[in-house]
Structure 1
Amino acid sequence: MIQRNRLRGTAIVFVGVILSSLNLRAAVTSLSDIFNSVASSVHGFDISMIGTLPLISFAIFGLLAPLLARRFGYEISLLISMIFVTLGLGLRILAPTFIGFATSTIVALAGMAFGNTLLPPLFKKYFPDHIGMVTAIYAVLLAVSAGTPSIISSDTVNTLGWRFSLGIWAIVGLVAALPWLMQTVLNRQEVTVKISDKTRNSSHPHYQMKMTISIALLFGVGGMLPMYTMINWLPSYLATVGFSGHNIGTMMFLYNILGIGHSIIVPLVIGRMKHPYYLIVLAVFLQTLTFIGFWLVPGLSWAWVVIAAPGLLTVPAAFQLFNLRSKTAGGAAFLSSIAQFVGYMLATLGPLVFGWLKDWTGNYNFSFAFMILISLLTLTFGFTATLPGYVEDSQSKER
């Protein structure tokens, strides 16, 4: 009977992982293509401000996620996560003013930030022998959750209105909450007492900060910063070198969709590699090549886009390192929270620095030189991040 409940619980959690992963970007991408429709109905709507909320919210609330898990356990915390998503997405379509709209959006983003941070360490608890496979599924579904809402929103806004286009994702969030509710009820004693007591009794663990910072910088400098900088600036740059709007849209689609390949492969192979640092070297080579290419040979931008996408293999690599470099779910949660805080904060700075250098010099030369330097710095962080060891190892080993 105990074994049957355990298997049933694992199956429920797997469904929860799939449904939750599909909800971790909806508040952002469902809105991005219909700003003008929303602005016409919401008094004082500020596109610039609403555009900065996701990265800041993911950073701050992601840092708080381990505290939530320590208090309630991962299952209840993920239930709270999806409830926040549901409430935030549901309430913001009712807001007549931008203050209410932004506040509701922050609630939804808080829920998504909790999910961003807590799902990877959950894999260690429920799928210890299949972490790579589950991480690959998670990474792919993140890509799906980033692309699907924008397509549906843009297709339905003119026929059903923006409130339907945005509000439909509240229902998806509610559905994603159900597996975590079922798991909480199925194992209510273990979830609410055993896990909570265990985390409280080790409320002051000592983690290796050198490893933690290296993985965080790998995720931020090697992944989030270049990705969000290119998402923000590549369309504008391609327009200045003569590409049409249709071609730019197709290039950006390729840039995003080709990431699915390395999202599947990297989590499956990095744990089996004797020298995983080679993956980081490959990523830096691809990133550096593409930035030089965009800068000096923009006429071949179709090729650079195709090469640029796998250059972001540092992102799924970091996701997998959260588990590979930790012995416990708590250690993985710590790595995940710090890395995502650093990553998303750097993601806000990358486009600003890139744009400032462009405005200061009047061209993109220093902007692309900045990106090349960032890529080369990843070699240092990546080397330390991929060294053998665990974040829970005694701090004496750092010296």
Structure 2
Amino acid sequence: MSTSPNLQSDIPSQSQPDAPANLKLPSSRFIFWLVLCAMVLLASNMRAPIVALGSIAPVVQGALDISETQIGWLGAVPMLTFALGAFISPTIGKRFGLENTLITMIALLTAGMVIRSVIPTWIGFLSGTLLLTLAIGFANTLAAPVIKQRTPNHIPLITGLFSLTMTVSAGIVAGVVLPLSEQFGWQWALGGWSILGLFALIIWVLLRLRLGSSNHQPIKPLAAGEKAPSHISMWRTPFAWQIAVFMGLQSLLFYTVASFLPSIWLSKGLSAVSAGQMASVFQFMAPVAILSLTWLVNRGRPIQALAIFAASLNVLGVLGLT
């Protein structure tokens, strides 16, 4: 991963289809920093709201007077809405534009964080959780195309910072949300993070106003004698299904552990603060894994072997919790 991007490169013209002909396009340096800030703020909202609930689930359960089954559903909601968001977001993104769709989703995400804090009932908390996790499901799918279209020469750098921000923000929230709830109340501890959503919304609106929307991409005409590329159906490709199942299972495992790890440690006798700290350790191990994986891949290690090794570590980790 490059740490000193070439900021003099120009973004392809098709990523700015809405720009008027007489308007000077922003410089590549400005585009780089604007997209970077937008992605970092978006990433800071994409795991923290989910992880925060896991760290104070017993507090929320007691405050809302709900059953263990109901608190369990709150932990299961993200996987369902992520799947729905991933399925429908490409079509909506193409129809209304990536930036337009993401701005709407950030607004819904922020609204969801506020709703589940200001309406302290089971229905209010469930509604807010459904709203914010569906928005995160959209963002999971649409963030990468924005990076690719807006900063094609800095994809590894911005993608890496995007992933790192998600992990670091989740780790910080997991460790501090319980002390904050004891100091200010659980509603402020969960809803206060919506300020990051407001900052993200402002930056994304600025990005949309300055760069336009990346929908209505022009189609490159075929040269004389050139054949149209054949389209491969992912639905009929076994390898695509294998990847989908593998990624789906690892996402299911991650969000299950992220949601319930503090509760598991509480049941084993740890204090609430120690359980939250364990959740932070879980989140902070992700950058270590990412850097190690990058090093191993660059040294030519086979991807299949690394995937099997990672899955084996998951099995050992789960067994260690029993």
Residues in 2 aligned to 1:198 and 1:48: alpha-carbon distance in whole angstroms: 43
1:259 aligns with 2:286: yes
Task: Identify which range, 207-216 or 170-179, moves more after superposition.
Answer: 207-216
Name the structure 2 match of 1:197: 216
Looking at structure 1, the residues matched to 37 and 263 of structure 2 have their Cα atoms a distance apart, in angstroms, of 40
The equivalent residue for 1:29 is: 51
Same amino acid, percent of matched pairs: 25
Q: Deviations over 1:39-82 (max 9, x none)?
A: 34436462122111111111112222112211221111221121
Say whether residues 1:220 and 2:252 are aligned partners: no
Cα distance, 1:18 vs structure 2? 0.4
Report deviation, 1:87.
0.8
TM-score normalized by structure 2? 0.73
AA matched with 1:71: R
Distance verdict in 2 for CA 1:131–1:217, change over 3 Å: farther
Residues 210-249 of structure 1 correspond to what in structure 2 (within 5 A)?
210=237, 212-221=240-249, 223-228=250-255, 245=270
Give the superposition deviation at 1:238. Answer: 9.2
User: TM-score, normalized by length of structure 1?
Assistant: 0.61
After superposition, give the CA deviation of every residue in 1:347-391 in whole Å (9 maximum; x if it has no partner).
xxxxxxxxxxxxxxxxx8xxxxxxxxxxxxxxxxxxxxxxxxxxx
- What is the deviation of 1:27? 2.2
**CA shift at 1:131, angstroms?**
1.9
Unaligned runs of 5+ in 2: 1-22, 221-229
Q: Does the residue aligned with 1:198 lie in a helix, a strand or coil?
A: coil
State the one-letter code of the partner of 1:162: W
Residue from 169, 174, 185 that aligns with 1:145: 169
Match of 2:46, SS? coil
Select between 37-46 and 131-140 the one with higher mean Cα deviation.
37-46
> Is 1:140–1:264's contact at 8 Å kept on the other side of the alignment?
no
**Structure possessing the higher relative contact order (Cα contacts under 8 Å, 6 or more residues apart):** 2
How far residue 25 of structure 1 moved from its aligned partner, in angstroms, is: 1.4
By percentage of residues, which structure has more helix? 1
Contact 2:102-2:138 within 8 A present in 1 as well: yes
State the aligned residue count.
Answer: 284
Query: Offset of 1:174 from its aligned partner?
Result: 0.8
More moved, 137-146 vs 158-167: 137-146
Question: Distance between the aligned counterparts of 2:260 and 2:74, measured in 1?
Answer: 18
Match of 1:53 in 2: 77
| Alignment partner, residue 156 of structure 1 | 180
**Counterparts of 1:185 and 1:88 in 2: how far apart (Å)?**
25
| Change in 2 beyond 3 A, CA 1:250/1:166 | closer
**Structure 1 stretch displaced more, 253-262 or 68-77:** 253-262
Residue identity opposite 1:217 in structure 2: V
For 1:155 and 1:91, locate their aligned partners in 2 and report how far apart those are by CA, in whole Å: 22
